[in-house]
């Protein structure tokens, strides 16, 4: 069973992608070079920031619609509930998440952490964020 002690510390993003029902993967909304930091502290506060590192200027200039997000982040309280971690968002880069509980399935493996959530309620497609301990 997952515990708070397992998660406390600083994590770096190693992968950000969509996982499909057939087991395949595709690029996540922050692109191939996504970078990020996730912090869980022992007093129950957390913060996460993720960003696109590759340029999207060409896509935007080509008239393909608005450019994808460059930065996603929020902070608030956190807790473990079974095999899930719950982020109680107090402040965020997107107003729609402020005041919500962001629930992520959490799995520890080989010193890393995978967090995932369905793309939409009832979906079999997931957005996955893989993390490693910072400095490792």
Per-residue pLDDT, averaged over 82-110, amounts to 96
CA-based nearest residue to 11, from 44, 52, 41: 41
Contacts of 103 (CB under 8 A, 6+ apart): 81, 84, 85, 86, 87, 117
Counting residues of the chain whose pLDDT is more than 90, the rounded percentage is: 73
Q: Work out the percent of the chain whose per-residue pLDDT is above 70.
A: 88
Domains and CATH numbers, the chain: 4-133 (2.40.128.280)
pLDDT tens digits for 23-73? 999 999 888 889 999 999 999 999 999 999 876 554 444 455 445 568 999
Does pTM top 0.85 for this prediction? yes
């Amino acid at each position: 069973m997952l515990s708070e002690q397992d998660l406390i510390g600083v994590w770096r993003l190693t992968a950000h992608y969509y996982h499909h029902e057939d087991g395949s993967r595709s690029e996540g909304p922050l692109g191939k070079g996504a970078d990020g930091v996730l912090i869980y502290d022992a007093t129950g506060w957390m913060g996460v920031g993720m960003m696109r590192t590759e340029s999207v200027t060409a896509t935007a200039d080509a008239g393909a619609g608005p450019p994808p997000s460059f930065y996603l982040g929020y902070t608030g309280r956190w807790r473990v509930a079974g095999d899930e971690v719950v982020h109680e968002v107090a402040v965020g880069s997107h107003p729609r998440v402020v005041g919500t509980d962001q629930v992520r399935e959490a799995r520890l493996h080989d010193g890393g952490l995978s967090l995932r959530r369905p793309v939409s309620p009832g979906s079999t497609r997931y957005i996955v964020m893989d993390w490693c301990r910072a400095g490792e």
